[in-house]
Structure 1
């Protein structure tokens, strides 16, 4: 029986992912001069400290945090333009959580979260989620996002990012994925067999990589390369869930 996907595309994340992403974002966010900072972040990260239970969720938290970081200025502008911020009911210590959850909310077109959370609910996440989903605020946020896109003639806020960041993203998206076979848990031959069962074909070199293919590194036989388009499929496979394959 196949495992449930940890992250459902465009449907939100578990509470622990949001909390972890907020903690990461709090540590990497762009600091602004006090006299120019219209959005205030608390001195400490979100509490309580929550660590995702598996590699997939841990990676999702980092991806969410860095996505919010790329769009920090735009997200802050949306919060201010919509008058959703400042919020007297949310302390400054929850601003990082507010920002990462806003990024995710607009990324899934303001649709409700559909993940069935099997973990203990995190009060701070539910509080911010309830705040963002209040009808008037949700409408104002969607309108602010639309105004931001129209002003910049963009289909999404990702398209408004500086050209240098967009080029970096484009380059990164074309690089092959590097994956290590954890031979403590699976042999190379068994890994190849399971990949074949997943519909993947082994090819000779990186130059031959196509949609459903992979190749073995010429110098390290326990290192595999996959097309970047297979990232979601791989991360949600049993091989990754069982830590038999590890993304480098």
Structure 2
């Protein structure tokens, strides 16, 4: 691929020199005191959120067999399209509402059917998805009226307001139907309708700490801690001790801080995040960057492959800038709006070492000039997201696969989905291992399924063909040897972070070129490989080059000399170079000498 076809975001070496200019600490001080907000104090959905959540639910809900259908849905043709240009907060809230409705779909359908709400209020079949998402929100607020936004803040949708009035008129019968359902199924609470694993994840998600990495191009981690202390926050060593007025350092990510969930809203609206000095992101991405940082090369490139956000690109770029390296992104693998978002964010953060290539990742090969400095590839494929306590937030920020929500709402991923995901994951990982100049490949998923993790890595490594002159890729672990709790008891070469009350889960494998530890190399092999890498310059002299042959043809003749008992006489005589003219004379002289020796040699019995 020629350099003219590459589409760089910023590639100027002169501009890159200003990338490391740090923002002075005084520009962020004094920071106003941060006041915690209750995690449950989220504003009510707007009319637009309800409408979009209904469209998402209708698209993702599972079709039941006809004998089990309590409600008959019909597709709407006039639903507003849900495009990527909408407000991100609206998108996230709509997907969250649709996901919660999917989890409680059977319960909500039973309540509507038992109370005859849809028949008594003349709810048409095409409005049933809207009734479902609004009923979930209504019962979640204990059948209290929604606090509507001020006039002019949001678009008013007439059918949403009409359906809201119908729910309010029928709320007593709806509440009674819900109570009968709970008694029938012995549910102490509505959340008991979910399986134990889903209920545990739902409970964790409400109080899960959030993670934010520091843009070290502008401010160091210590300076950021000083800024937070000025905002009346204190530092604690353990994440278990986090409160609404404390923060902690991530023990596995040297540039990441951890905060209580109650500080999420205040920090999101503070100058720290609006200026991109502090960046809130899922811990799995922070860990992938942390694993990649030690294997980066000076002035070497690192390529991101798979599905990821603009913030992930920025995070890797900040780490690569410390080694004067670049980050490569394949633009053909991302939607144009995502590429544009990437450019805007990098420009806002002052990051100048990212290049967007027009090609797709799987179409690149070792001969492309764009990858001649490529040393590290980070593979972040689409995955099942089964290790996330709340999949919506991370899938929304990292461009996850929304078609997985129906499976995740039931707590398990279908075999067909796993097969589809692993096929694409194996394709990306195998192609990453095919570049001869690449020294390390980092593979990361947010999944607990072995089929997507260690089993897939092992299968791809077995099938990968490596040139005989190159070292093969091997799993390089443990990744965090100093952290005993981070390793897995069954195979410490991989890193598995199980979902808990403190973090979402993830899986990371680091594959590096290494010699087979079961084979013993000879000294000659070690020296030859070291010499090929230029590590023995000046230590072992190179053999002298043979002298150039003269134009005149010459021959080498060994001069016969008498051997003596002295040490010098046992050395081999040096060869003399003679011309063709002298060769004939020497030849006749040798014949005469041989004839003389034959006459002096005895024959018959006297011969020795």
Range of TM-score over shorter length:
0.7 to 0.9
Greater relative contact order (Cα 8 A, min sep 6): structure 1 or 2?
1
Please list, as runs of the form range in 1=range in 2, the aligned pairs for 1:237-248 lying within 5 A after superposition.
Answer: 237=267, 238-239=269-270, 242=274, 244=276, 245-248=279-282
C-alpha distance in 1, partners of 2:235/2:40? 28
Aligned CA distance change for structure 1 residues 82 and 88 (closer, same or farther; 3 Å): closer
C-alpha distance in 2, partners of 1:193/1:26? 49
1:128-161: per-residue Cα shift (whole Å, max 9, x none)? 212212x2x2221111112222333434311222
CA positional deviation for 1:82: 0.7
1:119 corresponds, among 154, 162, 171, to: 154
Aligned CA distance change for structure 1 residues 174 and 142 (closer, same or farther; 3 Å): closer
1:11-35: per-residue Cα shift (whole Å, max 9, x none)? 7322222223222222332321234
Aligned CA distance change for structure 1 residues 148 and 183 (closer, same or farther; 3 Å): farther
C-alpha distance in 1, partners of 2:128/2:215? 39
Aligned CA distance change for structure 1 residues 115 and 165 (closer, same or farther; 3 Å): same
Aligned CA distance change for structure 1 residues 130 and 174 (closer, same or farther; 3 Å): closer
| Corresponding residue SS for 2:81 | coil
2:143 equivalent in structure 1 = 110
C-alpha distance in 1, partners of 2:77/2:219? 38
Structure number with bigger Rg = 2
Residues 188 and 222, structure 1, Cα contact 8 Å, conserved in 2: yes
Q: Which moved more, 1:31-40 or 1:82-91?
A: 82-91
C-alpha distance in 2, partners of 1:162/1:13? 26
2:75 corresponds, among 39, 43, 64, to: 43
C-alpha distance in 2, partners of 1:98/1:110? 14
C-alpha distance in 2, partners of 1:61/1:70? 14
C-alpha distance in 2, partners of 1:194/1:57? 31
Residues 23 and 45, structure 1, Cα contact 8 Å, conserved in 2: no
Residues 56 and 235, structure 1, Cα contact 8 Å, conserved in 2: no
2:55 equivalent in structure 1 = 23
Aligned CA distance change for structure 1 residues 166 and 37 (closer, same or farther; 3 Å): same
Please list, as runs of the form range in 1=range in 2, the aligned pairs for 1:1-248 lying within 5 A after superposition.
Answer: 9=41, 12-44=44-76, 47-49=79-81, 54-86=87-119, 89-117=122-150, 118-133=153-168, 135=169, 137-170=170-203, 172=205, 175-180=208-213, 192=225, 195-196=228-229, 199-206=232-239, 208-210=241-243, 212-218=245-251, 220-227=253-260, 230-231=261-262, 233-235=263-265, 237=267, 238-239=269-270, 242=274, 244=276, 245-248=279-282
CA positional deviation for 1:84: 0.5
| Corresponding residue SS for 2:258 | strand
Aligned CA distance change for structure 1 residues 121 and 243 (closer, same or farther; 3 Å): farther
Structure 2, gaps ≥5 residues long? 1-31, 283-608
What is the TM-score with the length of structure 1 in the denominator? 0.75
| Corresponding residue SS for 1:215 | strand
Supply the RMSD in Å over aligned alpha carbons. Answer: 3.8
CA positional deviation for 1:186: 8.5
Aligned CA distance change for structure 1 residues 144 and 195 (closer, same or farther; 3 Å): farther
Aligned CA distance change for structure 1 residues 220 and 74 (closer, same or farther; 3 Å): same
C-alpha distance in 1, partners of 2:104/2:233? 35
Residues 237 and 248, structure 2, Cα contact 8 Å, conserved in 1: yes
CA positional deviation for 1:103: 0.6
Alignment: residue pair count = 240
Q: Which moved more, 1:189-198 or 1:214-223?
A: 189-198
CA positional deviation for 1:243: 8.0
Select the structure that is richer in helix: 1
What is the TM-score with the length of structure 2 in the denominator? 0.34
| Corresponding residue SS for 2:164 | helix
Q: Which moved more, 1:51-60 or 1:62-71?
A: 51-60
Residues 203 and 214, structure 1, Cα contact 8 Å, conserved in 2: yes
Aligned CA distance change for structure 1 residues 74 and 197 (closer, same or farther; 3 Å): farther
Aligned CA distance change for structure 1 residues 36 and 74 (closer, same or farther; 3 Å): same
| Corresponding residue SS for 2:155 | coil
Structure 1, gaps ≥5 residues long? none
C-alpha distance in 1, partners of 2:184/2:122? 31
Aligned CA distance change for structure 1 residues 184 and 102 (closer, same or farther; 3 Å): farther
